[in-house]
Amino acid sequence: MAMFRTSTAAGSLLLLLAASTYGQPAPTSTATERLTFEVASVKPSSSDERGGGIKPMPGGQVYNATNVPVKLMISLMYKIPMRQITGGPGWIETDRFDVNAKAAKPSNIDELHIMFQNLLADEFGLQFHREIKQGAVYALMVDKQGTKMKVNETAQDFEIPIRFAGFGELIGKRVPMPYLVWTLGQILQRDERPVIDKTGLDKVYDFTLSFSPDLPPGARIEDPPPGLTERPNLFNALRDQLGLKLEPQKGPIEMFVIDHATKPDGK
């Protein structure tokens, strides 16, 4: 299970290990269909540990979360960086929950995300609206040399689009640009600039990205992999390995504003 520690100096980087367990942005379901899990259990976590994790299980039917705050669930399910989530009661950041949910039949990652979004509405009474403001952003664009990623034309599967092969090493399989943009925004969590998509790329892609992460002040890596310090930073790695660039600009920033949330009965 993907692990994170939100209280450590390197928490924003470790959060990515949880984030990487998610697939592509959820599509809008039809008006006549509301996708929900067949069975779901939501309980306050009994663990005193800081670590936790959340991921879909192989087979496309089960989603498990252990010791996870609701704000992180929202961030992952709606692909919105936590710094762009505002409002709501304080417990959505501090209280942690265990979720075990099962769909009636095997479903793709997009459908499972919609089910989890509906679980947040049903179990936590989540209500929200979105606001757009203008501000400083990083625009992800194709570099002048052209993209170096490989188009993947295989059918949808249950694989995780981006997974960590090691510290600062990402392997992407069938990755759409909105998901890459969100992942880069999480890597740059300490930077105040969100990442927006201006690539114009509309397919799904395979790639490998290796870079030297920018650690928070005071953070250190235990047993760093050989050659870590010789790797390029994220910006140079994107250009040289993927043919993409992050350009500072002014642009739209989406804010996810929580209007209402309640703890499940008895929790």
**How far, in Å, CA of 143 to CA of 243, rounded?**
5
pLDDT of residue 5: 37
pLDDT of residue 9: 34
Q: Which residues contact 246 (CB under 8 A, 6 or more apart)?
A: 138, 139, 140, 141, 184, 195, 234, 235, 238
**How far, in Å, CA of 128 to CA of 74, rounded?**
11
**How far, in Å, CA of 241 to CA of 249, rounded?**
23
pLDDT of residue 257: 97
**How far, in Å, CA of 80 to CA of 185, rounded?**
9
pTM above 0.85, yes or no: no
Please, are residues 54 and 64 in contact by the beta-carbon 8 Å criterion? yes
Work out the angle at residue 16's Cα, subtended by the Cα atoms of residues 197 and 254, and round it to the nearest 5 degrees. Answer: 35
Please, are residues 211 and 233 in contact by the beta-carbon 8 Å criterion? yes
Residues 106-155 pLDDT 10s: 888 788 999 999 999 999 999 999 999 999 999 999 999 999 999 999 88
Extract the residue ranges of the chain whose pLDDT is less than 70.
1-32, 47-51, 158, 215-227, 266-267
For residue 247, list its beta bridge partners: 139
pLDDT of residue 13: 39
Rg (alpha carbons) of the chain, rounded to whole number: 18
pLDDT of residue 156: 72
The pairs formed by 245-248 with CB atoms below 8 angstroms and a separation of 24 or more are: 245/140, 245/141, 245/142, 245/143, 246/138, 246/139, 246/140, 246/141, 246/184, 246/195, 247/138, 247/139, 247/141, 248/136, 248/137, 248/138, 248/139, 248/193
**How far, in Å, CA of 36 to CA of 131, rounded?**
26
